[in-house]
Amino acid sequence: MIKKLFKKEKQTFDELDLRHLAIIMDGNGRWAKEKGLPRQVGHKAGVEKVKTITKACSEHGIEYLTLYAFSTENWNRPQEEVNGLMDLLVVFLKKELDEMHKNNVRIRTIGDLSPLPDKSKQAMLNAIEKTKDNDGIHLVIALNYGGRDEIIRSIKSLAADVEAGNLQVEAINQENFGSYLDTHDIPDPDLLIRTSGEVRLSNFLLWQLAYTEFYFTDVYWPDFGEEALNLAIDTYQNRHRRFGKV
Which residues participate in catalysis according to the annotation?
26, 74
Q: Is 166 exposed, middle or buried (0-12, 13-18, 19+ CB in 10 A)?
A: exposed
DSSP the chain: ---EEEETTEEEETT---SEEEEE---HHHHHHHTT--HHHHHHHHHHHHHHHHHHHHHTT--EEEEEEEETTGGGS-HHHHHHHHHHHHHHHHHHHHHHHHTTPEEEEES--TTS-HHHHHHHHHHHHHHTT--S-EEEEEEEE-HHHHHHHHHHHHHHHHHTTSS-GGG--HHHHHTTSTTTTSPPPSEEEE-TT--S-TTSSTTTTTT-EEEE-SS-GGG--HHHHHHHHHHHHTS---TT--
Q: How far apart are CA 206 and CA 204, in angstroms?
A: 6
Q: Evaluate whether 103 touches 147 at the Cβ level (below 8 Å).
A: no
Of 215, 183, 218, which Cα lies nearest the Cα of 197?
A: 218
